Each structure stands twice: as C-alpha cells, then as structure tokens.
Amino acid sequence: MEFSSFSLAGLLAVLGASPDQAPQATPSIEMQFVQKLAVCDASLFEFIHANQRALEKYAPIERKNGIAYFKTSGDPKNNRITFKRPMMVNGVAFTGFYQEHTALPLNTIDVYYWGLHSTTRPAELAKRLPQLHLTAQSDGHWAGKTWIIDDVNQSTHWTINDNAVGGTAPVKGSAEKVLFVEEYQDKVALACTVQGYLTDEITHAVRPDLQGL
C-alpha cells in the first residue's frame, strides 16, 4: 500500500477541515506569564498561583489569599531575584524579576514598578514580542498600553489612555498604569508601573501581593 505525503493542509482536507480551522497551539507557560504581566493588573499574581509548580523552577514563590508571587530580596535598593535559569520567550531571555516603590516629594505621588529583567535590547525585545504592541517613545524607552483613572476620588475604573505623554507626572488626583521597556545600567526591564495619587483600594486591586505590608 502506498502512502501519500500529507501536509497539514492535506491532512485537514482528508479530515474534512480547512487550514483556518486548525487548532491553535496553547502558548507556553512562559509566554502566558509575559502576557499576564503586560496587562498590569492582579491577573499576573493569580496566574502564578495557578501555575506555581511550573514556575517555581525559576525562583521561589510565596502564596497568600489566592495569589502568589516571586519572593524577591526585600532589599529596598535592590528588590529583585535572579532566576535559576533564564525564562525563554520567543528567543528573549528573561533573567529575573524585580519590584520597586518610590514616593515622590511630600508623599503625594506613589510610583510602583514590577516586571522582568532581560539581556535582550529593547528594540529586539519589541520585535520578538509583537503581541505586546510596544512602540518607541521620544524619551528613549518603549511603551505598550497605557491606562488612566482621571479622578481617584470618584472612580477605581481604568480606561485606555490614548493621549499619554512619556516623562510627565500624573495630573493631580489621577493615576496611570503603563507597560514599558527601558534600558538602564546593564539591564533591560519589561515592566509595569502604576503611579499617581493612589489609594490603597486602587493599589491593592493592581498589586494584591502588597496587601498587609
């Protein structure tokens, strides 16, 4: 008996399906991690909780109240952890996770950062991760989606901000979230920031890992 050589399209034709109906491959855990990070909200910490066994090969993980997070050093000047092995996503090597908090003068504006360190230059990272829709900014960094709350005293609902201007402080009474890529010293960060006139409710909705600290 002779067997024809089947391409995917030919095999699907035999089965009565079109190539457009081919099942989509499930993204890797690592890709899903990056996609969750890119949303800049609590879903990242819920994802780590749900996938702890797959992710703890990179770094120790702590759990609480239905969420989980990488256990960083706790050092205010260097609050990070280096992964046991690089987390590879589309050829991008992520080498660790970090978080920072800064209170600007008079403690009126809080700035939180959290995300991944990489050895891949920003332009190459943006090219290899097109699903993040990162674009070069005039101040030298790269940015993805930006969200805003116009008045933190009236709402906790984030909306897409199409008029964001890099390098400027949030307007008084507002809050902003941004996905960004930035190169500094010998590191490249793919990270989120939430900043502005933050209430505990807004902060903890985005960063549930900070509750109780």
Q: What is the pLDDT of residues 116-140, one digit of tens each?
A: 999 999 999 999 999 999 999 888 7
With residue 49 as reference, give the H or E element that holds it: helix 43-50
From CA 69, how far away is CA 48, in angstroms rounded?
Answer: 6
Q: What is the pLDDT of residues 34-48, one digit of tens each?
A: 999 999 999 999 999
Predicted pLDDT at 25: 75
Predicted pLDDT at 108: 81
Predicted pLDDT at 76: 74
What residues of the chain score a pLDDT lower than 70? 1-24, 106-107, 163-167, 213
pTM of the full structure: 0.84
Q: Residue 30 is encoded by which pair of tokens?
A: 């690592």
Burial grade of 137 (CB within 10 A; 0-12, 13-18, 19 or more): middle
From CA 172, how far away is CA 185, in angstroms rounded?
Answer: 31
Residues 6+ apart with CB under 8 A from 26: none
